[in-house]
Copies of this chain bind each other. A is one copy, B any other.
Amino acid sequence: MTRVLVVDDEPQILRGLKTNLVARGYDVDTAPDGEAALDLAARRRPDVVIVDLGLPGIDGVDVIRGLRTWTAVPIIVLSAREQESEKVNALDAGADDYVTKPFGMGELLARVRASERRAVSSDDGEAVVRTSAFTVDLAARKVVAADRTAVRLTPTEWHLVEVLVRHPGRLVSQRQLLQEVWGPRYEEETNYLRVYMAQIRRKLEPEPSHPRYFITEPGMGYRFEPGD
């Protein structure tokens, strides 16, 4: 079943869209703001994302950019703003389509279908995260260093890298990392994180003892900093 993530801060619109999409047989996740959207996208891997531009907190365009660091999922923008510059910004940030409110539900659904159709043919879009030191290909499960040599990661190392990289620039708590990689019963074993982060840094950081990409936030967790 096709999974759609809808991001909008107005509960009625959220509800209305969800109802319509569910009625058409879609599996729908909803998020009221950018943070929740990025988090849900990472965890649920939707096939299409519908995002409103006027969000509290992280801006809609930044949500698009955040998604585009690691996924090619089709993004349809909803917006009340008609100015051309808004449209151009959103599209150039990586959106696939831009629909101006008020919009017809039939049109939106047709645009969702168009996005789906494309996604099937191109299938695994580029899920690639690049830094100046290494490139992480999430679809191929491959890491390549700047000098084009492949980097070997163990399953646990890879899993950890994957979780961090899917939340670029954002803090991921120790709890969340441990739960995601080792399971709910290991939430206290922060030891593991230290050991594995060290290994990951040794393999990926240009200067493992002065990390630039995998940053420690003492007492809280770790953060992947794409840094361009």
Contacts from A to B (Cβ < 8 Å): 72, 84-85, 87-88, 91-92, 94-98, 104, 106-107, 109-111, 113-114, 117-119, 121-126, 139-142, 154-155, 158, 169-171, 217-220, 223
Contacts and interface: CB of A to CB of B under 8 A. Distances in A.
Contact of A155 (B107, B125, B218): B218
Contact of A91 (B110, B217, B223): B110
Contacts of A91: 107, 110-111, 113-114
Contacts of A119: 122
A104 B84 contact: yes
Contact of A142 (B141, B158, B171, B218): B171
Given A107-B84, A113-B92, A155-B219, A121 B122 contact: yes
Number of this chain's copies in the complex: 2
Nearest to A169: B140
A31 B107 CA distance: 28
B106 A85 contact: yes
A113 B140 CA distance: 26
A178 to B, nearest CB: 17
Given A142-B169, A217-B141, A220-B158, A121 B113 contact: no
A83 to B, nearest CB: 9
Nearest to A120: B126
Given A113-B92, A114-B91, A154-B218, A106 B121 contact: no
Contacts of A123: 122
Nearest to A84: B104
24 contacts: A84-B106, A85-B106, A87-B104, A87-B107, A88-B106, A88-B110, A91-B107, A91-B113, A91-B114, A92-B110, A92-B113, A95-B114, A97-B114, A98-B107, A118-B122, A119-B122, A124-B170, A140-B169, A140-B223, A141-B170, A141-B217, A142-B223, A154-B219, A155-B218
